[in-house]
Amino acid sequence: MYKLHYMKKLTLFTVLAFAVTVATVATLQSCSKVAKLLQYNIALQSGSVLVVIPPTSDTSATIAGTGTNSINVDSVIKAGTGNALGVSNITSVKITSVTLNLQNGTTANNFANFKSCYAQVSSNSNTTPYAINIANNPDQTSNTLTLPVDPNAELKGYLTGTQFNYAAGGILRRATTDTLKCVISFQFNVHVQG
């Protein structure tokens, strides 16, 4: 009788252990499926990058200033996803806005001096500059210029880097007499998925 009772307990224990193992494996597989479903859209700004555009009277050549900054995109993504995802999970990057702002613009030296303007970005992961421009800039006094962006342009390859290079400038319609201090701001939407 004791042996029969012991066998029933052993069988019950074996069945329970098997059920727990099956449940654990199913849960772990579900967790990996859930992780793959995680997706976030993270707003990322390049920061305020100062470029200096030298004065010139040449109205036929392109003038520009350049600047650089570092962004740890992986850390930004981890902060935005509770450390669940990182730069390797980027599936898409789109520019949402590009703004140029003159810190020292005057009525004689501002964006009205430019008949065309551009801004560009590159990185240590993609050294080919991506440019945004306005071909026919209005002849209106302004110290701020928002450049039109292509919402479909894919820039994923740029944001896997950590060092970013920027340029801003254009072709003048009228000479500039002072150095222009221009702050460039790129806004990106970064889509990440597990």
Q: What is the pLDDT of residues 93-116, one digit of tens each?
A: 999 999 999 999 999 999 999 999
- Residue 26 parent element (H or E): helix 2-37
- DSSP per position, 51-88: EEEPPB--SSSEEEEEEEEE--HHHHHHHHTTTS--GG
Q: Are 193 and 91 in contact (CB under 8 A)?
A: yes
Q: What are 70-79's contacts with CB under 8 Å, separation 24+?
A: 70/162, 70/163, 70/164, 71/44, 71/46, 71/47, 71/162, 71/164, 72/162, 73/44, 73/159, 73/160, 73/161, 73/162, 73/190, 76/42, 76/44, 76/190, 77/40, 77/42, 77/190, 77/192
Q: Are 135 and 42 in contact (CB under 8 A)?
A: no
- Cβ contacts of residue 103 below 8 Å, gap of 6+? 50, 181, 182, 183
Q: Greater confidence, 70 or 29? A: 70
Task: Supply the pLDDT for residue 119.
Answer: 97
- Section 37-56 average pLDDT: 92
**Quick check: helix, strand or coil at residue 167?**
strand
pLDDT tier for residue 25 given thresholds of 50, 70 and 90: very low
Q: What is the pLDDT of residues 137-182, one digit of tens each?
A: 999 999 999 999 999 999 999 999 999 999 999 999 999 999 999 9
Task: Supply the pLDDT for residue 46.
Answer: 87
pLDDT tier for residue 35 given thresholds of 50, 70 and 90: low
Region for residue 17 given its phi and psi (left: phi exceeds 0; alpha: psi -120 to 50; beta: otherwise): alpha
Burial 151-167 (b: 16+ CB within 10 A, else e): eeeebeebbbbbebbbb
pLDDT tier for residue 38 given thresholds of 50, 70 and 90: confident
Q: In this model, does residue 32 exceed pLDDT 90?
A: no
Q: In this model, does residue 31 exceed pLDDT 70?
A: no
Q: In whole angstroms, give the CA distance from residue 67 to residue 185.
A: 11
Task: Supply the pLDDT for residue 47.
Answer: 83
Report how many helices (DSSP H) and strands (DSSP E) the chain contains, helices first: 2, 9
